[in-house]
Chain A
Amino acid sequence: MLFASCRTAEILMSEGISQSDQPVAREGLQGDLFSKFDPLIKQRTDLLSSGQEDPFSLVMEKVLSPTQAICNGRETILLGTYNYMGMTFDPDVIAAGKQALNDYGSGTTGSRVLNGTYQGHKQCEEALKDFYGMDHAMVFSTGYQANLGIISTIAGKGDYVVLDIDSHASIWDGCALGNAEIVPFKHNDIDAMEKRLRRIPEGAGKLVVLEGVYSMLGDIAPLKEMIAVAKKYGAMVLVDEAHSMGFIGENGRGVAEAQGVMDDVDFIIGTFSKSVGTVGGFCVSNHPKFEIMRLVCRPYVFTASLPPSVVATAATSIRKLMHNADKRAHLWENSQRLHKGLTDLGFKLGTDAPQSAIVAVLMPDLEKGAAMWEALLTEGLYVNLARPPATPANMTLLRCSLCAEHSEEQVGTILGMFERAGKAIGII
């Protein structure tokens, strides 16, 4: 596959793994399957030999709260987690987990369709149905598997998946696992999407895959317009609301709710690993035949179900997220304060106005980005480093994600750290 360099491999870069697009000169041991990783190994060695701390091997030695941890023996403010609503240390959530651990044991040791569905899994699915006001909910072991399973199963041979080029790795991998024709379009470009839908042969099944919030730049999709176009061409619509759950929309249902188009979304994919504060993934839908998915979706069937303590914490957290208007308002204030503060300091940001709880700071290049990342860590601040080609338009980003538990004072401290580090590195 030389011409089509799909971004799947590159998206992985944000998790610290990368592959070069270029053909690899094989050296050393003949037949060593690892020689294809040589360019990346070299890039990392070069970067680290300059004394740069490895941005992808940080260890949290102790976690003090949703917003603070000890890293390298230093107390550090966390500004690079997806713990948007700060639910990880919620006393009710922890109590529910402990109770389930006592009552049901440490794990299910089985698939959801065999011995792995406990009362807790059903209660978790009930909580999701109530949260989204939808008829069906299916809990997967991760959000990654939810995308993998739903996309690969519903779009079959001869069908078309039309998706945003900046989609998350799990969406791309869902496409790769299935047999449908895959047609990407330019990020958030309504015309580009429409052109592709218009050219799909008559009678073919169509699935449009969008995200509410795109996690690299923290920008949101014009779902209202895009979903209207998708429906005009008779496509089904799947929206990944991983980064909006619990925060965006009147009831925290996501960007589709905020834009008033929940009723036109056929499938919402989400995760427990962000606002919900544990691990797991799900799909909710009003499709009358949705339940058949439990039998035909391989990433649901052929893996063990979540431990009872995890689904108990998830269900408790989801129910609490329904009534969280104050926390949501505070998170918006944090996002606005950080966005304005960084703009005033002279940093270039991924969006002109804050659109989500993610604020992406644009770095001039990887070296400066890595140096800035390390300077912030030395100041006592953790952010995510994202680098090309994972990022759109080959940008190097310092991605800041806010938590509803960050205090106003902490945001002030964070801005001071950015100012000192930015001046020391010479970015502002």
Chain B
Amino acid sequence: MERAQVESRILSLIEPFNKKGIEISDETSFAGDLEFDSLTVMDFVAAIEDEFDIIISMNQQAEIEKFSQLVDAVCKLQNR
């Protein structure tokens, strides 16, 4: 899948979790800007994993702070 396509799919998956309707950019941070708490993170990660049929282990999650990093990680995991 192309990066642009991954990006747009992730954007639509973020929507239900983006309660305040924050505009998403590459620099948007999940904890800071989107105020994801641990329960939200679990549900959101599960949604991403199901959409792309991948696993994002907690070790990998620890490296992801911003939107662009998530897109990078999903692209990489998909091509394995």
B32 within 8 A of A: yes
CB atoms of B57 and A389 under 8 A apart: no
User: A residues within 8 A CB of B61?
Assistant: 3-4
CB atoms of A1 and B62 under 8 A apart: yes
Q: What are 6 A-B contacts with C-beta separation under 8 Å?
A: A3-B70, A5-B37, A5-B41, A160-B57, A183-B57, A199-B53
Docked Cα-Cα span, A23 to B59, in Å, equals 20
B42 within 8 A of A: yes
CB atoms of A199 and B49 under 8 A apart: yes
B37 CB → nearest A CB, Å: 6
CB atoms of A2 and B42 under 8 A apart: no
User: B residues within 8 A CB of A3?
Assistant: 30-31, 36, 41, 61-62, 64-65, 70
With A4-B61, A4-B64, A186-B46 known to touch, is A199 a contact of B38 (CB < 8 Å)? no
CB atoms of A21 and B29 under 8 A apart: no
- Closest 4 CB pairs between A and B? A4-B61, A181-B57, A2-B31, A182-B58
Docked Cα-Cα span, A404 to B48, in Å, equals 46
- Residues of A in contact, count (CB < 8 Å): 29
User: A residues within 8 A CB of B37?
Assistant: 5, 21, 389
CB atoms of A181 and B59 under 8 A apart: yes
- Residues of B in contact, count (CB < 8 Å): 26
A8 CB → nearest B CB, Å: 10
User: A residues within 8 A CB of B80?
Assistant: 201
CB atoms of A2 and B49 under 8 A apart: no
Docked Cα-Cα span, A183 to B53, in Å, equals 14
A416 CB → nearest B CB, Å: 36
CB within 8 Å of A: which of B44-66?
46, 49-50, 53-55, 57-62, 64-65
Which residue of chain B has the shortest Cβ distance to A21 in the bound complex? B37
CB atoms of B57 and A394 under 8 A apart: no
A196 within 8 A of B: yes
A192 within 8 A of B: yes
B22 within 8 A of A: no
Known A1-B62, A183-B58, A184-B42; further 20 A-B contacts with Cβ < 8 A: A3-B36, A3-B41, A3-B65, A3-B70, A4-B64, A5-B36, A5-B37, A6-B38, A6-B58, A7-B38, A22-B31, A23-B32, A195-B50, A196-B49, A199-B49, A199-B53, A199-B54, A389-B39, A393-B39, A394-B39
User: B residues within 8 A CB of A23?
Assistant: 31-32
User: A residues within 8 A CB of B50?
Assistant: 195
CB atoms of B42 and A165 under 8 A apart: yes
Docked Cα-Cα span, A22 to B38, in Å, equals 11
User: A residues within 8 A CB of B49?
Assistant: 195-196, 199
Docked Cα-Cα span, A183 to B59, in Å, equals 9
CB atoms of A200 and B64 under 8 A apart: no
Docked Cα-Cα span, A192 to B39, in Å, equals 15
CB within 8 Å of B: which of A40-84?
none
Partner pick for A184 among B29, B53, B58, B65, CB 8 A cutoff: B58
Docked Cα-Cα span, A233 to B41, in Å, equals 26
CB atoms of A199 and B55 under 8 A apart: yes
CB atoms of B42 and A186 under 8 A apart: yes
Docked Cα-Cα span, A4 to B32, in Å, equals 12
User: B residues within 8 A CB of A22?
Assistant: 31
Docked Cα-Cα span, A399 to B55, in Å, equals 35
Which residue of chain A has the shortest Cβ distance to B57 in the bound complex? A181
A10 within 8 A of B: yes
A87 CB → nearest B CB, Å: 36
With A4-B41, A165-B42 known to touch, is A182 a contact of B30 (CB < 8 Å)? no
Partner pick for A192 among B46, B58, B60, CB 8 A cutoff: B46
Which residue of chain A has the shortest Cβ distance to B69 in the bound complex? A3
Docked Cα-Cα span, A23 to B31, in Å, equals 9
CB atoms of B39 and A2 under 8 A apart: no
CB 8 Å contact bits of A147-158 with B (1 = contact, 0 = none): 000000000000
User: A residues within 8 A CB of B70?
Assistant: 3
User: B residues within 8 A CB of A10?
Assistant: 38
With A4-B61, A181-B59 known to touch, is A21 a contact of B31 (CB < 8 Å)? yes
